[in-house]
Amino acid sequence: MEDLMAKGMKNAQNAVLSGCSAGGLTSILHCDNFRALFPVGTKVKCFADAGYFINAKDVSGASHIEQFYAQVVATHGSAKHLPASCTSRLSPGLCFFPQYMARQITTPLFIINAAYDSWQIKNILAPGVADPHGTWHSCKLDINNCSPTQLQTMQSFRTQFLNALAGLGISSSRGMFIDACYAHCQTEMQETWLRTDSPVLGKMSIAKAVGDWYYDRSPFQKIDCAYPCNPTCHNRVFDSNVHSEV
C-alpha cells in the first residue's frame, strides 16, 4: 500500500479495497486501515467476495475452523494486525471471523457471498477430518449429488450463515448480495460478475449492485431465498482429482 500511495494512489478521488476468499477476508479486516491512508475527501469503500467465513461446528460437532483459525493467527503472529476493538474483547483467533469484528468497521462495506459457500461447506461444515468415511465427498464435489439429509444439513448451515451476518450491524452504508448458489468467489470471472446469464438478485447482477452502491446511486441489501430457488446460479462442480481441504 505504501508503494502504491507513493506511485500516485494518494491522489485518487475514488478508492476501493476488494478481494476474494482469503483476499475477501483481508478486505474486511483491513478496511478501516485502508480508509485511513486517504484524505477525508476521497471516496473509499471496501467490498469482500466470499470472505465472510463463519465460526460454525462441523458435521461431527467439533469446532474445526475455530481451532484452525487460532492456529493461523498464532503461526503468523496476526494478533497485532487485527482490530483492537475486537482483540480487546475476544481472543485473536475469533477476531479472524468477520461476525465478531465487522460491526466496528466504520468504512462502507459490501459483502458478496453465496449462502452455500462451497469452500465453507467443504472446509467448515464437512471437512475431511469430520467425515472419515467420505460420506460427504460426492456432495461436496457437486451439490446435485447431495442426499436429502445432507441438503437439510446445508440448509441449517445457511441459517447459521445468515445469523452470523447480523455481525455486520444495521447501516445504510453496508451492502449485501447473498445468493443461494453453491459457489465461492463470484466477482473474479465475467460469467458471474457481469454477463447476460450472470447470477441475479432482484433482477440485478453483482456488478450492477456493487456499482450502484459504490457510486451512491442506490443501496443494495438483498438475501436470496433458500436453495434451489435461484435458477440464475452458476453452481460449482469440482474435479475429484483436485479436491483439496484444510
Question: In this predicted model, what pLDDT tens digit does every residue of 54-92 receive, in sequence order?
Answer: 999 999 999 999 999 999 999 999 999 999 999 999 999
**pLDDT for position 243:** 56
Residue 113 corresponds to which cell in the numbers above? 457471498
Confidence of residue 170 (pLDDT cuts 50, 70, 90): confident
Confirm whether 10 is domain-assigned.
yes
Rounded Cα–Cα distance for residues 145 and 137 (Å): 9
Confidence of residue 242 (pLDDT cuts 50, 70, 90): low
Q: Which three cell numbers stand for residue 21?
A: 476468499
At 244 the pLDDT is 59
Query: Does residue 182 fall inside a structural domain?
Result: yes
Question: Per the domain annotation, does 84 fall within a domain?
Answer: no
- Assigned domain for 72 exists: no
Looking up cell 436470496, which residue turns up? 224
Considering the chain, what percentage of its residues have pLDDT values greater than 90? 93
Mean pLDDT of 163-191: 94
Q: Rounded distance, CA 141 to CA 120, Å?
A: 13
Whether residue 195 is contained in a domain is answered as yes
Residue corresponding to grid cell 493461523: 72
Per cent of the chain over pLDDT 70 is 98
Residues 193 and 238 sit within 8 Å (Cβ to Cβ): no
Positions marked catalytic: 21, 117, 184
Q: How many residues does the chain have?
A: 246
Residue 25 located in a structural domain: yes
CA distance 184 to 73: 23
Measured on CA atoms in the order 152, 101, 94, 89, is the torsion positive or negative?
negative
Q: What is the DSSP letter of 142?
A: B
Predicted local distance difference test score (pLDDT) of residue 241: 74
Domain count, the chain: 1
Domain that holds residue 174: 1-54+99-121+134-223
